[in-house]
Amino acid sequence: ASTTVLKILRRENLCEQVKPLGDQLKQKLISELGQHSLVAEIRGKGLLIGVEIVKEKEGLISFDEKDKITNKVVNKGLENGVFFYPGGTGEYRDIICLGPAFIINDEDIDLMVSSLKKSLDYVKSKYL
């Protein structure tokens, strides 16, 4: 099944077709969250984007692992209607990953960004 999916992706040039959506999502994240005090970096390509979360942006100080900040952001995102998934390990463990479906549209992008912002604001108000 996975081989067939890869063949379809290549044959129908789907990754190139969704590139503008990935660019739009990343730019919206940077615009809305790039200066957020908990966001260290927004990185990725296409529709696979990671947002690195830190306790203190100055000095890139991480949250304590026991705080489980990534899980808190993911859970709050679900409450706000969007599924983010956790990423990262070791020193860079608090990564929020976005990997929407190829059928994403402008409204979905707005919802993802606003949900992540609400989730980060919640974590900031509750745990700092």
Find which of 60-69, 79-88, 107-116 is predicted with most confidence, using mean pLDDT: 107-116
pLDDT band at 128 (very low <50, low <70, confident <90, very high): confident
Q: pLDDT tens-digit profile of 26-65?
A: 999 999 999 999 999 999 999 999 999 999 999 999 999 8
pLDDT band at 89 (very low <50, low <70, confident <90, very high): confident
Output the pTM of the full model. 0.91
Q: pLDDT tens-digit profile of 13-26?
A: 998 889 999 999 99
Mean pLDDT of the chain: 94
Strand order in the sheet with 92-98: 39-45, 48-53, 92-98, 85-89
Are 124 and 37 a contacting pair, CB within 8 Å?
yes
